[in-house]
Amino acid sequence: MTRPFDQSRTEFYLTSPSRCPYLPDRMERKVFTFLSGTTAPQYNAILTQRGFRRSQNIVYLPACDACNACKPVRIVATELEDKQAWRRNRRRNGDISREIKAPKATSEQFSVLRGYLDERHADGGMSDMTVLDYTSMVEQTAVDTMLIEYRDGDGTLIACALTDRLPDGLSMVYSFFEPDAASRGLGTYMILDHVALARELGLPYVYLGYWIDGSTKMDYKAKFAPLEKWSSKGWKPLKKPDAVRK
């Protein structure tokens, strides 16, 4: 029998200030805690529903001084707008198959990730990731996690998503794709496929992590309307910025 979750016994920690990777003129701090034991899945679900994000066996939330640009967001899967752009994306990727696997790292996956990082994030915090780092990212989990592989019509692996299953939705922890297939719009496709999977599983939400006000890298998330953001008042609709609405 699983022990009841006792939030009062949880210890939270605060990181030292460091340079923000998304808004270069600002500093970031995070509040975080650890996931372990039989209550980890319940704990992860509760904190995700309150805006936290998982990385291996740590869950964290931005706690920056004088900045609240990071907005935890989730798609309302049952109400996602059926845009013409989404239909074109699905047709373009009609040959792709999805396979849900246990969170086990493979050299094939790492090869795709390495190409993705070198092409898209050469100056990012994960640019020097090794195969051991990748294995830790995938396999160090105390919660209900799956590795979703996407293969083209020839059976070639072209994209992956590390995803947590929660009682009320799917949380996309990290995703990457083959940069040579960028014209397919695979980032968008994986989000749309997670919405479809959430619907298949009867789950209402897809958690996307943080939309960051002022970061062009995160503008794409606001396109998946209706989108909700977390605040001290709970989950509320995210109003699309003018740049995205046009």
Tell me: the pLDDT tens digits for 181-228? 989 999 999 999 999 999 999 999 999 999 988 888 888 898 898 899
DSSP string of 83-149, one letter each residue: -HHHHHHHHHTTT-EEEEE-S---HHHHHHHHHHHHHH-TTSTTTT--HHHHHHHHH--SS-EEEEE
* Domain containing residue 113: CATH number: 3.40.630.30
Of the candidates 47, 70, 93, which is a domain's last residue? 70
The answer to whether residue 38 scores a pLDDT higher than 80 is: yes
| Distance of alpha carbon 178 from alpha carbon 181, whole angstroms | 6
> Do 117 and 19 share a domain, yes or no?
no
Overall domain count for the chain: 2
> Do 93 and 181 share a domain, yes or no?
yes
Range of the domain at 45: 7-70
What's the pTM? 0.89
> Do 80 and 55 share a domain, yes or no?
no
| Distance of alpha carbon 30 from alpha carbon 11, whole angstroms | 14
Q: Does residue 109 lie in a domain region?
A: yes
Q: Does residue 28 lie in a domain region?
A: yes
| Distance of alpha carbon 179 from alpha carbon 177, whole angstroms | 6
Task: Encode pLDDT of 116-172 as tens digits.
Answer: 988 876 565 566 789 999 999 999 999 999 999 999 999 999 999 999 999 999 999
> Do 108 and 202 share a domain, yes or no?
yes
> Do 106 and 29 share a domain, yes or no?
no
Q: Does residue 183 lie in a domain region?
A: yes
Contacts 24+ apart (CB under 8 A), 33-40: 33/58, 33/59, 34/58, 34/59, 35/59, 35/142, 35/143, 36/142, 37/142, 38/2, 38/3, 39/2, 39/3, 39/4, 39/5, 40/142, 40/143
| Distance of alpha carbon 113 from alpha carbon 129, whole angstroms | 9
Q: Does residue 97 lie in a domain region?
A: yes
> Do 77 and 63 share a domain, yes or no?
no
Of the candidates 55, 70, 85, which is a domain's last residue? 70
Q: Does residue 1 lie in a domain region?
A: no
> Do 51 and 86 share a domain, yes or no?
no
Of the candidates 70, 102, 118, which is a domain's last residue? 70
Count of C-beta atoms within a 10 Å radius of residue 177: 25
> Do 150 and 216 share a domain, yes or no?
yes
In this structure, the dihedral spanned by the alpha carbons of residues 10, 11, 16 and 22, taken in order and rounded to 10 degrees, is -10
Q: Does residue 230 lie in a domain region?
A: yes
| Distance of alpha carbon 143 from alpha carbon 42, whole angstroms | 8
The answer to whether residue 1 scores a pLDDT higher than 50 is: no
> Do 148 and 167 share a domain, yes or no?
yes
> Do 174 and 196 share a domain, yes or no?
yes
Mean pLDDT to the nearest integer, 39-61: 94
Q: Does residue 2 lie in a domain region?
A: no
Q: Does residue 77 lie in a domain region?
A: yes
> Do 77 and 51 share a domain, yes or no?
no
> Do 65 and 92 share a domain, yes or no?
no
